[in-house]
């Protein structure tokens, strides 16, 4: 009897683990973590564009986050792009093109 419950526990653990990874890896449905990452990205792009001419703290924070390279933090720009399956390079190039169209001046990213 003791051996049966140990086997059942192991089977239950395996089922829970499998269910967890199915949840983590599914891409077809909305997930709160991905939704949050998308919201963070949208706010950063919005602040970058809306506050570009003011060059205030919101703009600088957005610029620093969007153009930071090599960070491995969960909510770093490149990590967010990886989870959302977006190209950080294309987003950055799009922002630089937007600046050129907006005022014709180059922006010092670094």
pLDDT tens-digit readout, 22-65: 655 555 556 899 999 999 999 999 999 999 999 999 999 999 99
1 in a structural domain: no
22 in a structural domain: no
9 in a structural domain: no
**Burial (CB count within 10 angstroms: exposed 0-12, middle 13-18, buried 19+), residue 98:** middle
Supply the range of the domain harboring residue 43: 31-110
3 in a structural domain: no
The residue among 56 and 8 whose pLDDT is bigger is 56
Rounded Cα distance between 48 and 107, Å, is 12
| pLDDT number for residue 63 | 98
How big is the CA angle at 107 (ends 103 and 109), to the nearest 5 degrees?
A: 155
- The reported pTM is 0.67
26 in a structural domain: no
89 in a structural domain: yes
91 in a structural domain: yes
Domains contained in the chain, number:
1
């Amino acid at each position: 009897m003791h051996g049966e419950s140990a086997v059942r526990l192991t089977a239950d653990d395996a089922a829970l683990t499998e269910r967890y990874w199915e949840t983590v890896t599914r891409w077809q449905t909305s997930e709160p973590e991905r939704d949050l990452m998308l919201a963070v990205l949208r706010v950063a792009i919005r602040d970058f564009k809306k506050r570009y001419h003011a060059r205030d703290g919101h703009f600088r924070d957005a610029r620093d986050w969007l153009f930071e390279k090599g960070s491995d933090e969960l909510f770093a720009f490149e990590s967010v792009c990886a989870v959302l399956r977006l190209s950080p390079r294309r987003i950055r190039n799009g922002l630089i093109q937007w600046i050129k169209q907006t005022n014709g001046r180059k922006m010092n990213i670094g």
